[in-house]
Every structure is written in C-alpha cells, then in structure tokens.
Structure 1
Amino acid sequence: MASDSTGTPEPDSPEELLAWARTYARTVDIDVDLDAVGWDVSKHARRRAGACRYDHDDGVTIVLSWHSYRAHGWAEVADTVRHELVHAWEFQQFGESGHGPRFERQADAVDAPRHCEPFADPRYVLRCRTDGCSWRARRYRASKTVTEPARYRCGDCGARYVVEHAGSGRTWDDGAGYERVRAELGDDW
C-alpha cells in the first residue's frame, strides 16, 4: 500500500483506499464492532464523501467516495471514516442514526466532523428570503424543492425561499418561475 515519506496514505485504487480505511478505523477509539462492518467504495457518488448504510439483516456498511478522495486526499477520508464510524456506532447501539445531539457528542469524542465537506458544486442553491436568516441548501438535481419551491419553507425559520440556478444566477420562487427560467436558459440549463 502506497504512502508518502511521512507515512500518509496515498492509495492508487479503490481497493487500496478500503484497505487504508479499514486499518485506520481500528485506531479510532469508538465502541464499534468493526468485524461486523462492511466496507465499499463508490465511484459514482459525487455529492457526499461517505455514507453509512444499515440493514437489519445485513448490518452496517460504510461507503467511501473515490471522487472525494481524489478531490481532497487522505485527510478528508480520515475525517469521513470517523464520521461514518459514529453512524455505525449509533446503528449498532440504537438501530438508528442521524446528526442530532447523540451523534454530535460522539463525533466530538472522536474528533469527527458533524458534516463532511462537499466536493462537488451544486446545480442549485436554495436561500431564505428573510433578512437575518442565513439558511442555505445545496441541490444537485431538480427535485421538488427546486421545481416547486412555493410548497416548501426555509429549514431554519420557516419562511419562503428562493432557488438560484448556480450556473446562471437566475432565480425563481415558484413552479412557473422554474419553468420560465428553464425555457429561457435552453441549452445552458
């Protein structure tokens, strides 16, 4: 397995990335049954650095993004492994996981980030319209929160939000606006 002169991993393949991640996971001080954790690498994920999947029959699988590793390197993968191990801990202990207070306490204990850094640019940005509210959300596809924003509200204060097409800066706040901007942008959509 490749590493640089300081011993920092430099995996050249998804298989090497998994080998380093498994080895690194054993150094994290968290009560996770690592023998019961499956590992995988996604070559398709472009919006998240990792995921922790749970199935009552199959248990926990930690999935790491090859694109995230290529964009940010090993230090980001190590953060992601610690973050996903906290999810694995919650699944193994409680049968569920999220990013709430229990997750936050355990993440602090293992120096894991609460959220992993995005490594892809969003296609759309949702922004609250209320002065003083800094809520923003990134979207990568035209989900209903993008195409029908009048049906939804800001995640912090509950006010209406506006959707921005990141490539053009054009905005809309309802379904008709979405259709109008999409038609006007044509091939630049």
Structure 2
Amino acid sequence: MSDGDAPTLADESVARARIHAREVANGDGDYHLPVDLGRLEWTVSARARRRAGACRWNASCEVATIVLSRRAYEQYDWPAFAAVVRHELVHAWEFQQFGESGHGKRFHKQAAELDAPRHCQAFAEPRYRLRCLEVDCDWEAKRHRASKPVKAPDQYRCGACGGRYEAEHVSSGRTWSTASGYGGTKATLGDGW
C-alpha cells in the first residue's frame, strides 16, 4: 500500500488476522498456541470460493503461509473469521513442530483447545450438486467446480450405496446423468452457466 492509498479489504483482513495471531501466540486472550510468528507469512485469495483459509508449508525455508479468503472475510462475522484464523494457526504450528499437518487427532486436540472448528463452514453456495438416484439413498455431495464426477456422472457411482447419481446445476435447477447431458445443459444455458 502506497502513501495516500486507502487500505483494501485484503489489507484489513490480514491486519486483523495478524493481531489475532499475536494474541494467540502470546496467550494474551482466551487462547494460547506457541506458533512461531517469525516463520509465518500471510496472503489473501480473491479466487477462493469454498475454503475460508489454507496453510501452505515451504519445507526448504521452514515458513508457513496462511492464505485467507477475501469472500469469507466479507461474509463471516469477526468471531467466525477469527476461528478460521485459529484453525490455520493450528496447521502452521503443526508444520513448524512436526513438518506435516492434517485434520487428525493432534490437530483436533489443538483446535478444540483454541475453540477453532475442525472444518470451516461453507461461505458460498455450491455451483453443482450430486444426488443419488436410488429410492432408498439420500446421498448428496456439493461441488464448486465442474470436476470429472460433475462432467461425467455416468462414469462414477454414489458415495454411499454405489448406485447411479445425477448432477444438478444449482442456480438453474437443470440436471444430467451423462457426459453428453452435461455438454447439452452447458450449451443450453450459455451465459447462464
């Protein structure tokens, strides 16, 4: 940011996240996690649609980078976003201490101590929905991108019962169960896709 420029939403979200991280690392508030802030970098993603945050580890220089979603910052209230920051701090701490991180028992224990969610709530509606076609199965999955199972549902099976499923373009309500159905729906919707 240059002199005279107003801070952006990304600047604001990182500033607030850094302040909260300092409080957590120093034990100044309700939470404490001895994460090394000197080996932590911050950035904001304007593209993220489903992840509120992520933590990436550069093992060669032993630096964790926390990536925060601008859309999540816009949609969450501060307590919910602060919980996302604590969630990502647990990942950073695990990377710094053990060289790896996941959502296993160690993560779950630390996240619980910090009142951080094990998984963050969705902040955007999915673009696609997969739904089992079997009468006795209520399996459903949400997708934000046109993945292979979205584009060719006839090549995959239900995650619960192994039956066939259909894909739905959520905003239009149109469904398909084959690769050609996907192509036809996309062509029909045109700019509405």
Fold match, TM over 0.5? yes
Aligned length: 179
* Number of the residue aligned with 1:184: 188
How far the C-alpha of 1:123 sits from its partner, in A, is: 1.2
Structure 2 CA distance for partners of 1:149 and 1:186, relative to 1, 3 Å:
same
How far the C-alpha of 1:12 sits from its partner, in A, is: 6.3
Query: CA separation in 1, counterparts of 2:8 and 2:189?
Result: 40
* Number of the residue aligned with 2:104: 100
The answer to whether structure 1 residue 120 and structure 2 residue 116 are counterparts is no
* Number of the residue aligned with 2:16: 20
Selected match of 2:55 from 46, 52, 55: 52
Query: CA separation in 1, counterparts of 2:136 and 2:100?
Result: 34
Query: CA separation in 1, counterparts of 2:161 and 2:35?
Result: 36
Deviation sequence 1:112-145 (CA, Å, 0-9, x none): 1122122222211123445565543322221212
Whether the 8 Å CA contact 2:131–2:139 is kept in 1: the answer is yes
State percent identity of aligned pairs: 56
* Number of the residue aligned with 1:78: 82
* Number of the residue aligned with 2:4: none
Whether the 8 Å CA contact 1:164–1:170 is kept in 2: the answer is yes
Name the SS for the 1:27 alignment partner: helix
Structure 2 CA distance for partners of 1:132 and 1:18, relative to 1, 3 Å:
farther
TM-score by length of 2: 0.78
The answer to whether structure 1 residue 35 and structure 2 residue 31 are counterparts is no
Whether the 8 Å CA contact 2:73–2:81 is kept in 1: the answer is yes
Name the SS for the 2:117 alignment partner: coil
Query: CA separation in 2, counterparts of 1:179 and 1:61?
Result: 38
Structure 2 CA distance for partners of 1:131 and 1:76, relative to 1, 3 Å:
farther
Whether the 8 Å CA contact 2:39–2:64 is kept in 1: the answer is yes
Name the SS for the 1:141 alignment partner: coil
* Number of the residue aligned with 1:136: 140
Whether the 8 Å CA contact 2:49–2:144 is kept in 1: the answer is no
Structure 2 CA distance for partners of 1:15 and 1:97, relative to 1, 3 Å:
same
* Number of the residue aligned with 2:65: 61
Task: Give matches, 1:140-155, under 5 Å.
Answer: 140-155=144-159
In structure 1, list runs of 5 or more residues that go unmatched.
1-10
How far the C-alpha of 1:94 sits from its partner, in A, is: 2.7
Query: CA separation in 2, counterparts of 1:131 and 1:106?
Result: 41
Structure 2 CA distance for partners of 1:127 and 1:27, relative to 1, 3 Å:
farther
Query: CA separation in 1, counterparts of 2:81 and 2:181?
Result: 39
In structure 2, list runs of 5 or more residues that go unmatched.
1-6, 25-31
Structure 2 CA distance for partners of 1:66 and 1:148, relative to 1, 3 Å:
same
